[in-house]
Structure 1
Amino acid sequence: MKMKAILAAIAATAALFIGVAQADGLTDSAKAGKPIRIGFAHEIPWAYPGDKNEPLGFANALAVGVLKSMGYTNIEPVVTDWGGLIPGLQAGRFDIITGGMYITGKRCKNVAFAEPMGKFGNAFIVKKGNPKGIQNYKDIKEKDATMVTVSGYVNVDEALKEGVPESKIMQVPGPTELLAAVRAGRADAGASNYFDAKNLAASASDEIEVTDPAALPDWTNNWVAIAFKPEDKDFLKAYNEAQAKYLGSPEMLEAVGKFQYTKAQLPGDAKSEWICANR
């Protein structure tokens, strides 16, 4: 009996050791009380830093709310440019991308997306009166127009898919440069998500207007999700479980409502696995 007890104790210890060894790095780090570093760019109203570098925007509000419901409140914001988000995650400069990133097949090869947090469309900014009559990518192609977008945005691949020549696609570091290119006439249209386009146009309402997002093909509608390193599977699973309870709740809608997100943007039933295969 004594030997059986010893063997049972050894087996239990081994099982415990295996369980600990299998926990991913982010789970171990977060449970040890270390800060969870969230990475985002300056993308109003999705995610952006406040005056004291606090994480603002609806993507940040949702992520912080979910993490809080999981018991994690030690959050450290890390601001970078849009093109640096996936490389920054891969390099370990932060643990999670909260920057309002569309789920695409190309990105799914480099990050692990949580289940979607919202569904959104795109639009163009153009000069007042839309002098070239641009409403969609085919207009850009047929009218030999020049389009500007932010490097790393899905609009590049969308335009190429619609037949816009690469030579007619200008890529810039961020939304400020996108607006400047259209205002200066270096580009005929600026492609972005609808929220960004609307905010850019509002900042230059005497010169700029937004096209109708419904004029773009339905397949350009995209789902947004928080992104993790593929190896942080345990944390991602726990995050998805917590988000499923938080998403659409009165608490969540109040938190994100300050940043233009409404019930109309809720993601529906689509799952990240399907979106990765179809976007």
Structure 2
Amino acid sequence: MKPNFTALTALLGLTLFSLTNTGASAGPVADRIANGQPIRIGFASEVPYAYPDANNQPAGFANVIALGALKEMGYTNIEPVVTEWGGLIPGLQSGRFDIITGGMYILKSRCENVLFAEPLAKTGEAFIVQPGNPKGLSNYKDLVSKNATMVANTGSSVIEQAKKDGVQDSQIIQVPGMPEILATVESGRADAGVSAFLELKEVAKKAGGKVEVTDPKAFPESYQNWVGIAFSKDDAEFVAKFNQAQKKFIGTPEMMKAVAPYDYDKNMLPDGKTAEWVCANR
């Protein structure tokens, strides 16, 4: 089933501007709203978390949940801004956009630079490997013991986690996005592509048997991650209101229907962990 964002737009009552690359800076999001300006949501092309669909409109379950919470707050004037993954936090800090909806893991290192809303999903990591998984790679420790090479998005949290398990810089290739990850694995320049399981599942499905996805359960439970929407540190008051709205929206039949096309199910609902706890423990 393909996501229908036109139907979603009608469902949420959104007013969407076209995708933009403007770089004008601005103050806190509440100031922009007071001045009648749209709320700019920033995301990369990270299927199924957040990405532009065929009509260049925001798709993915993180966008669905963020837009649903904003609508609950009464805000429907939205402007999507697409950038590369590595440009999301710098773009938020520079005022290029107001909110990161891009399916970002909540991590201690990121919490130092942005303010996360409460988690909207719980998920895990996996590898894409060549068919048959010739090197038998299932987790980071396998990369270390077999001196294998991994590829990941520049700035991705998986790089930090891999290094914690002993993977060396010489074993890590960083690329701009998922198409480059896939190409690097397909060509054999890397033994494993690393990202979130759901994203890799989608990539493998479209790759027509050129790669396969490893079992995310091969990673320790401590490597489970929580996804959250990120804001500027100047927007604490707005985030508190956003949290209240997201709590009303998340898990409702309306939300679950809207995120179903992105393989988000009840098993991915956050388990009560707060952003504060995740920031301290991830």
TM-score by length of 2: 0.89
Task: Please give the alpha-carbon distance, in whole angstroms, between the structure 2 residues aligned to 1:153 and 1:168.
Answer: 15
Q: How many residues are aligned here?
A: 256
Aligned counterpart, 1:145? 148
- The DSSP-based 3-state class of the residue aligned with 1:232 is helix
- Aligned pair partner of 1:129 in 119, 127, 132: 132
Distance 1:263 1:105, change over 3 A: same
| 2:162 matched residue in structure 1 | 159
* 1:206 is the counterpart of 2:209: yes
Query: Counterparts of 2:34 and 2:221 in 1: how far apart (Å)?
Result: 42
Structure-to-structure mapping, 1:179-194, within 5 angstroms = 179-194=182-197
**Equivalent residue number for residue 218 of structure 1:** 221
Following TM superposition, by how much is the alpha carbon of 1:88 offset from its aligned partner in structure 2, in angstroms?
A: 0.2
Does the 8 Å CA contact 1:119/1:267 hold for their aligned counterparts?
Answer: yes
Letter in 2 for 1:182: V
Q: Residue 258 of structure 1: SS of its match in structure 2?
A: helix
Q: Is the 2:62–2:101 contact (alpha carbons within 8 Å) kept by the matching residues of 1?
A: yes
- Once residues 165 and 31 of structure 2 are traced to their aligned partners in structure 1, the CA distance between those partners, rounded to angstroms, is 45
**What is the rounded CA distance, in whole Å, between the counterparts of 2:210 and 2:56 in structure 1?**
31
Look up the match of 1:79: 82
Paired amino acid for 1:77 = P
Q: 2:255 aligned to 227, 252, 255, which one?
A: 252
Report the counterpart of residue 26 of structure 1 in structure 2.
Answer: 29
The C-alpha deviation readout for 1:93-136, integer Å capped at 9, x for no partner, is 00000000000000000000000000000000000000000011
Query: How far did 1:242 drift?
Result: 0.6
State the partner residue of 2:7: none
Residue 260 of structure 1 deviates from its aligned partner by 1.3
**Which residue of the partner structure matches residue 246 of structure 2?**
243
Q: For 1:43-54, what aligned pairs fall within 5 Å after superposition?
A: 43-54=46-57
1:266 corresponding residue in structure 2: 269
Instruction: Pick from 168, 171, 195 the counterpart of residue 168 of structure 1.
Output: 171
Contact (CA 8 Å) 1:53, 1:77: kept in 2 or not?
no
Measured after TM superposition, the shift of residue 33 of structure 1 is: 2.6
Residue identity opposite 2:158 in structure 1:
N
Which of the numbers 56, 59, 63 marks the counterpart of 1:60?
63
Q: CA deviation at 1:206?
A: 2.2
The residue aligned with 1:38 is 41
Aligned counterpart, 2:21: none
Give the Cα separation in 1 of the matches to 2:124 and 2:204. Answer: 16
Distance in 1 (CA, whole Å) between partners of 2:255 and 2:35 is 27
Alignment partner, residue 12 of structure 1: none
- 1:251 deviates by 1.1
- Any idea what SS the aligned residue of 2:70 has? helix
Structure 1 segments, 4+ long, off by >3 Å, are none
Percent identical residues: 56
Structure 2 unaligned blocks of 5 or more = 1-26
The amino acid of 1:153's aligned partner reads: S
SS at match of 1:152: coil
Q: Which residue of 1 aligns with 2:8?
A: none
Counting only pairs closer than 5 Å after superposition, residues 102-121 of structure 1 correspond to structure 2 as 102-121=105-124
Distance of 1:56 and 1:183 partners within structure 2: 27
Shift in Å at residue 70 of structure 1? 0.7
Distance 2:190 2:38 in 1: 42
Deviation at 1:147, TM superposition (A): 0.8
Shift of 1:196: 1.3
Structure number, greater radius of gyration:
1
Structure 2 distance, partners of 1:108, 1:269, is 18
Name 1:227's counterpart in structure 2: 230
SS at match of 1:71: coil
Contact 2:28/2:98, CA 8 A, preserved across alignment: no
